[in-house]
Copies of this chain bind each other. A is one copy, B any other.
Amino acid sequence: MAGCREVIMQSFSCRVTYPKASYSSISHNTIRSVGEEILFESFPYRVNGTNSSSMYSEDARVLDAYDDEYNGVIVHSEGLPSNPTSFASILRSSLSHWKAKGKKGVWLKLPITKSEFVPIAVKEGFQYHHAESEYVMMTYWIPEEPCLLPSNASHQVGVGSFVINEKNEVLVVQEKYSPTGLAGLWKIPTGFILESEEIFTGAVREVKEETGVDSEFVEVIAFRHAHNVAFEKSDLFFICMLRSLSTQIMVDDQEIQAAKWMPLVEFVKQPLIQEDTMFKKITDICIARMGKRYCGLAVHQLASKFDGRLSSLYFNIVEDANSTCQAS
């Protein structure tokens, strides 16, 4: 797809090159040794900043940056000048320099401490790409051809934990903030996974945080994909089966009104479960899984030499040749 640069190193997936970009020849240390740089003698410029870092020299005419693998450049945040006037001037000369070198995409990460540089970059034609609390990433696409810069993160990921004990009781909670009409429903613990957190650890953590119960991950038994959930982003929600390792309940007062072990039959009987197609289906799956009449996806940590990365692969058990799969 346009906007997606596929790299086999990423095994099956797509990635941008930010983490692996290599240094280019345009840092100030080499700038004078590159013949074509003479072109930029026409931009007499001195940085009068106070925080010139080791990567940034007094007579640099181009922002300190390094190349990515797609003929783009990534600006060093540490090498930014200290005042807006300096930034405006050097950003302009840098863009001319990169255009002359046939560069394509420019990545400019502005820390929140440099927020006054944002309107300057916008004036030069930069767009926002994404932001985290402490920075905004801005991009500039140089060529005439359609922009091929990779897109921003598109999904939030949640987990729901179906925890069963030996007495066939389900661990359920009532939340503090339930819309009226749904108050009183006993539901499974749910929550977002944290940054860089595994689904299987997030499911266990949420249970511990909300109810104080220790548990171990068994399988992802289903997942739900919904769109335009928050800020037009999409939502992937993984329903996990967990085994309880402790029984005592300690409620998290901040989010949870009450928590308890509820006999499975009672849980299923709840009108709000019975009347909802999705809730009902997920409950049926959990019951089938408990009766060993259902296979979910177990997790396996595997390394791939393509990206040297240890990642989690979730898959069903491959049954032996004698057993048959009902799937068409």
Contacts and interface: CB of A to CB of B under 8 A. Distances in A.
Given A4-B255, A150-B230, 14 more contacts: A8-B187, A11-B237, A19-B230, A112-B127, A128-B131, A153-B153, A153-B156, A198-B225, A223-B297, A224-B312, A292-B325, A295-B316, A319-B326, A323-B323
**How many identical chains are in the complex?**
2
B275 A294 contact: no
B131 A315 contact: no
A7 to B, nearest CB: 7
A313 B235 CA distance: 12
Interface string A122-133: 100001111111
A305 B275 contact: yes
Contacts of A239: 12
Which of A13, A230, A320 has the most C-beta atoms of chain B within 10 angstroms of its own C-beta?
A13
A20 to B, nearest CB: 10
Contact of A327 (B130, B276, B296): B296
Nearest to A234: B196
B221 A325 contact: no
Interface string A89-128: 0000000000000000000000010011011001000011
Given A12-B160, A294-B319, A231 B191 contact: no
The A interface, classified by DSSP as helix, strand, loop or mixed, is mixed
Interface residues of A, number: 133
Nearest to A230: B16
A4 to B, nearest CB: 4
A8 B319 contact: no
Contacts of A191: 1, 4, 6, 14
A6 B232 CA distance: 18
B326 A282 contact: no
A268 interface: no
Contacts of A293: 318-321, 323-325
A171 B137 CA distance: 37
Contacts of A249: none
- Kindly list the 6 A-B residue pairs having the minimum CB-CB distance in the complex, ordered from nearest: A222-B315, A128-B131, A131-B131, A226-B311, A13-B237, A278-B304
A192 B149 CA distance: 12
A222 B300 CA distance: 11
A192 B2 CA distance: 9
7 contacts: A1-B191, A13-B190, A15-B230, A115-B119, A282-B313, A284-B318, A296-B316
Interface stretch (A26-34, A55-63, A176-184): A176-184
A182 B1 contact: no
A152 interface: yes
